[in-house]
Copies of this chain bind each other. A is one copy, B any other.
Amino acid sequence: MKESFASDAPPAPAALAAKVRTLAPSMTRSMQRVAEAVAGDPAGCAALTVTGLAELTGTSEATVVRTARLLGYPGYRDLRLALAGLAAQQQSGRAPAVTADIAVDDPIADVVAKLAYDEQQTLADTAAGLDTVQLGAAVAALAGARRVDVYGVGASGLVAQDLAQKLLRIGQVAHAHSDPHLAITNAVTLRGGDVAVAITHSGGTGDVIEPLRVAFEHGATTIAITGRPDGPVSQYADHILTTSIARESELRPAAMSSRTSQLLVVDCLFVGVAQRSYETAAPALSASYEALAHRHSPRGRGGR
């Protein structure tokens, strides 16, 4: 089905430079010029046609083809393909320059690469650091909850809303509070069988801890999602889910990676709960999808 790797002529994938050096002595002058160009700038040559490369090297098409043959390819077309591959490899090889911090004068492309890399790292860290036992317990509590309250302020407030939104979509009674007073007012009405979730990166946000404490004292099951499992919030948490703490810099506030981390935890909770209550969750998900369908224009093709 694929190119059979015959015994004597396997087209070289990346060992091209070596092959050029090996074969150079047995090449004629013109062919050497071609080989040199190819080895020197694979990416550039890959963009050229036979004629283009011939002109660049001051030779003819025939010579280019002959060189390609000598290098072990059936023709120039295949050499070109290999060249493109080589270029791509080199390109990706010099990628890990993105580990540095984001600087004020970084070009926009670097910013994208660095942010993406950092967030990927954060996700990996979070996944590695998550206690699946705690997570399982939290899921169980949520799945069986009569009612769920989620507390978060500032950046964590959005995560809290995200969790509440998700739970609502699978038929749970969930509410996110970012107003501390209202949160406490509501927490007072929680009882056993209810669940309260506090989300705070620092683990010490009073506006979030207070409602959780009240919920805890009223017998609700409490969950803390925090980057500081040793922080004050843990006093009142039955289950603690730890988010990762990434280094931050002036241009990259902690809110960014903590949010990424928190959201992963929230997603895990959501999927876990959805699994546990699949019978009711699946229809609810489809229903909410259906209900929203008409609010999006049905066709995407004509949108000039």
Chain A residues at the B interface, C-beta cutoff of 8 Å: 2-3, 13-14, 25-26, 41, 43-44, 46-47, 80-82, 84-89, 91-93, 102, 104-106, 108-109, 111-113, 115-116, 119-120, 123-124, 126-127, 130, 132, 135-136, 139, 154-155, 158, 161-162, 165-166, 169, 202-207, 209, 228, 230-232, 234-235, 250-256, 259-260, 263-264, 267-268, 271-272, 274-275, 278, 282, 285, 289, 292, 295-301, 303-304
Contact = CB atoms under 8 A, between A and B. Distances in A.
B203 A303 contact: yes
Chain copies in the assembly?
2
Nearest to A207: B295
Contact of A250 (B25, B47, B136, B285): B285
A296 B81 contact: no
Given A84-B81, A120-B123, A271-B115, A296 B204 contact: yes
Contacts of A130: 112
A300 B155 contact: no
Chain A binding site: helix, strand, loop or mixed by DSSP?
Answer: helix
Contact of A295 (B3, B25, B139, B206): B206
A227 to B, nearest CB: 9
A296 B25 CA distance: 14
B264 A234 contact: no
A43 B165 CA distance: 42
A247 B240 CA distance: 31
A112 B231 contact: no
Given A88-B13, A264-B119, A297 B232 contact: yes
Given A204-B296, A254-B304, A259-B263, 20 more contacts: A2-B44, A14-B88, A14-B92, A81-B81, A81-B84, A84-B84, A84-B88, A85-B85, A86-B88, A102-B271, A106-B275, A108-B139, A119-B267, A120-B124, A158-B165, A206-B295, A209-B297, A230-B301, A232-B297, A263-B263
A13 B292 CA distance: 36
A300 B268 contact: no
7 contacts: A84-B85, A85-B87, A104-B275, A202-B304, A203-B300, A232-B300, A253-B285
Contacts of A274: 251
Nearest to A92: B89
A300 B228 contact: yes
Given A135-B112, A207-B295, A250-B285, A267 B256 contact: yes
